[in-house]
Amino acid sequence: MRLTGTAAALGRAVWAGVDPEGFFRRHAGDGAPFAVRFPGLGEVLFFSTEDGARDILSAPGTLCRAPLPNPIEPIVGANSLILLSGEAHRRARSVVAQAFRGELMRSYVDLIAETTEHEIAALQSGDRLLAGRTSQAITLDVVIRVVFGVTDRRRRTEFSRVTTQLLRTGGAALMLVPWLRRDIAGRGPWARLVALRALLDELLSEQIDERRCSGDHRGDVLDLILNATDDEGNGLTDAALRDQLRTMLAAGHETSSTSLAWALYHIHRDEGIRRHVLDELATATTPAEIAALPYLGAVIQETLRVHPTVPIVLRRLTGPLTVAGVACSPGDVVGIALPALHFNPEIWAKPDTFDPDRFLRCRPSPFQYAPFGGGYRRCIGAAFAHNELAVAIGTIMKTLDLSAVPDGRPPRAVPRGIATKPSREIALTVIARRPTT
């Protein structure tokens, strides 16, 4: 029996929502644009070629905007950089970006190493390192310390608890199907999400008020944003500031924790890669040196090629635009399917092979490889994310001798909150703690 057009479109949307990597990778070879209709958003025309990515990412802000409604809006808020468009986006980004300059982000490498060491301190020979759980704990504590400069562990634990519960409540179904967002007499997933978001906002407001009253300039992200203004001398309103901070807490650690778990998985399932990483780490004595290691950097790049944590880049057109030869009209939503682009055999040799060396042999263009998006909407935390991943991986591997646990078929990437995550926990066995030098 053949499916009707509506049933087929619904089937594609469900497949894309349940198994985004598998769904989008199947389009990597043909290069033809393809449409998927998402609940609440409508039809999206996806592209998987370099030309398509170039046309979308190079389009000026006057021709496109963030497509709304967006499934992550309940978590990050309407003022998030992810959702703003036009002049509002430009002004907010000019304020927030001042706190993410490269030299400032590089100064946090010692903090990342310290957090990682603390998280794995109790592990001994014979224990299991659960990569997903460990990665989430490391990246969430790091973002709380980097964004807020919170030194009190009890307060960091409270931020972590509320943020984690909020993200767990915002499951894929609630995010992708707007009509599920109903408060039934104060009960149900939606009511719980709203209550947790309000609780997190209370914590954020307390932190903002304390910092303003104390006049304490710590040089963390919150301090820098509180003192930053746009080109007309305007700072962020409190509501906008909370949305940006919530975005950093949620999106900033969700994406990094997923990439950290995947990187540990791929490193420890290939002895050649693991040995190469360890040999290179032996030459590094400080977190800053770890962050600059070329092969480790290539491992991170390859991890993001194979598993882009946010697998699609979307734009809603406000004017006509030709994308890879296809004439698109105002109101259309166009997208880049990153798993298809990153597995396009016309761009990548043996795309199904996890091969970090490909990033040492050549440097892909931003239209061949776009794990952080691109153009004027490229993720402002990209440089920090790379340093965080490198230092966390390096610290773990310099501290623990690990081996993969045989567990059958590889995990899939499945939607969880804001990002995709491995479909099951990735376990590594602790062979021994390495001697300190």
Asked if 399 contacts 127 with a C-beta cutoff of 8 angstroms, the reply is no
> CA separation (Å) from 6 to 13, 22, 23, 38, 162?
11, 21, 18, 12, 40
Q: What digits encode the pLDDT tens for the residues 316-342?
A: 999 999 999 999 999 999 999 999 999
Asked if 28 contacts 306 with a C-beta cutoff of 8 angstroms, the reply is no
pLDDT band at 179 (very low <50, low <70, confident <90, very high): very low
% residues pLDDT > 90 (the chain): 72
Residue 177 pLDDT more than 70?
A: no
Domains of the chain, with CATH numbers?
A: 5-433 (1.10.630.10)
Single-letter code of the amino acid located at 88:
A
Asked if 207 contacts 242 with a C-beta cutoff of 8 angstroms, the reply is no
Sign of CA dihedral 305, 306, 308, 313: positive
Sign of CA dihedral 87, 92, 97, 98: positive
In the prediction, which pLDDT does 437 show? 62
User: Average pLDDT over the chain, rounded to whole?
Assistant: 90
In the prediction, which pLDDT does 176 show? 53
The whole-model pTM stands at 0.93
Q: What digits encode the pLDDT tens for the residues 273-301?
A: 999 999 999 999 999 999 999 999 999 99
Tell me which residue of 255, 241, 156, 235 sits closest to 201, measured CA to CA: 241
